[in-house]
A = this chain, B = another copy of it.
Amino acid sequence: MKICTFTTFAFEKKMNIPNEKLGKSLADEIKLVAKEERIDPNTLKKRICNGKVVILKLKDFAPVGIGEGLRTKINVNLGTSSSEYDRDQEIQKVLVAQKHGADTISDLSMGGNIDQIRNELMEKCTVPITTVPIYQAVVQEGSMLNISNEAILKVIERQIKDGVSSIVIHAGFSLDDLNKIKGRRIMGMVSKGGSFTASIMSQNNTKNPFLDIFDYILEMMLASNTVLNLGNAMRSGCVHDLIDEPQFAEMLNNSRLATLANKKGVQVILESLGGHVNARDLIQWIKIHKQVTNSRPLFVSGPLPTEIGLGYDHISASIGATLASGYGADYICAITPAEHLGLPSVDDIKNGLIACKLAAHVGDSMKYGLNHLFDPDLQLSKHRFLREWEQQFQISLNTEYLKEKFPKRKKDCSMCGKYCALLTSKRIFDNFN
């Protein structure tokens, strides 16, 4: 398939004019984020006005900056499904995710009373929360075929009123794109929100419904400082489904929509290159994506660079996420060991998040080198050399697990016992005196 020509990018660049509106109501948040990220507030503000950074917030909790020059952030997906809804379990997931350092949470609930569940989860939330309104619209209407624009707008309005920090819409693809995929991909379309949106379009032979109501959505978002996340409906569902024209077209369309939103003063995150992408292409496309979208904040889910790790997809995803974040992605979604198998347990959420944190952290070292984010690594190494276990455990990602596993840790380690290289080399160095 032929890829769009590169002249489009120049066009994009012209459209992207710094917009003071974007940073307007974020004065306090900019100060807080700049301090947290150790960057100059003016630089941060400039990036926000250029659409390269967004700030998400929930109520009066710490705002979270995402984008150029900032620490790679991590999102955790949770929420009930149509076949499994246990409110308490989802609340536990919120608590575990926050305890282990999730930067944001997405409530993807589709089972039970969705408004109620969302609000109950939000009561426990101290980090920004994102929703995909089309999910609730589908459940409420009891159909994914006939959903009016009004119904979608009502859901969005309700969720924004409830205080969500960000919403995802799949506005960047058309029926024509779907037709191009047909028979040419192994996995078809794997985006749930995308498939709902496509379902409406296909049933009624219409254009993307979000385009008709885009201005209304922006108005609501602007009034509430909600961040727009332009989802990727066209992402590939297996490493052999290579980046194709529909996927590339969606990148460009979303980038154009982002420019329009930015103009109105709405902050935008672009979701792209999630799902499954082979590692070689992933590295190239992450770079290309950053280029063609003027370095807008890039959110990726996974991506998985191999399929054969079923049951261990949190590890496959941590490999993909490292490459993604290391080469430019700003925001990554944790993948759990239950991916492709079922709704994750609380433990799955924890394990997926820890794997993702390692990926984001290593990605940050690829982006920034060993900056202040690696101070904990430095401290841990110093304690390791002195075989100070308690202090190592404190700094590690899962202190509780280590303390449980080694309640009374001996100084010696059973790997090398008396033949510890650290002790031997210390003795040798002392000999040099």
Contacts and interface: CB of A to CB of B under 8 A. Distances in A.
Interface of A: 81-84, 110-111, 135, 138, 144, 178-179, 181-183, 186-192, 194-196, 198-199, 202-203, 237-241, 276, 278-280, 283, 305-312, 314-316, 318-320, 322-323, 326, 338-343, 354-355, 358-359, 361-363, 365-366, 369-370, 374, 376-378, 380-382, 384-385, 392-393, 395-398, 401-402, 405-406, 412-419, 421-422, 424-429, 431-432
A237 B240 CA distance: 38
B239 A377 contact: yes
Task: Specify how many copies of this chain sit in the oligomer.
Answer: 2
A309 B194 contact: no
Contacts of A405: 311, 341
A396 B308 contact: yes
A385 to B, nearest CB: 5
B315 A385 contact: no
B310 A186 contact: no
A58 B392 CA distance: 40
A396 B339 CA distance: 13
A421 to B, nearest CB: 4
Contacts of A194: 421
A238 B396 contact: no
A381 B187 contact: yes
A349 B192 CA distance: 37
A390 to B, nearest CB: 12
A234 to B, nearest CB: 11
A99 to B, nearest CB: 16
A343 B414 contact: yes
Nearest to A188: B425
A305 B385 CA distance: 17
The 9 residue pairs across chains A and B that have the minimum distance between CB atoms: A83-B417, A238-B381, A82-B417, A195-B424, A189-B425, A310-B396, A342-B414, A195-B421, A188-B425
12 contacts: A198-B425, A199-B427, A239-B381, A278-B369, A279-B365, A306-B374, A308-B395, A310-B396, A311-B405, A312-B397, A316-B358, A343-B414
B83 A412 contact: yes
B358 A182 contact: no
A361 B308 contact: yes
B187 A384 contact: yes
A413 B365 contact: no
Given A280-B366, A342-B415, 9 more contacts: A82-B416, A183-B429, A192-B424, A195-B425, A309-B358, A311-B398, A311-B402, A318-B319, A341-B402
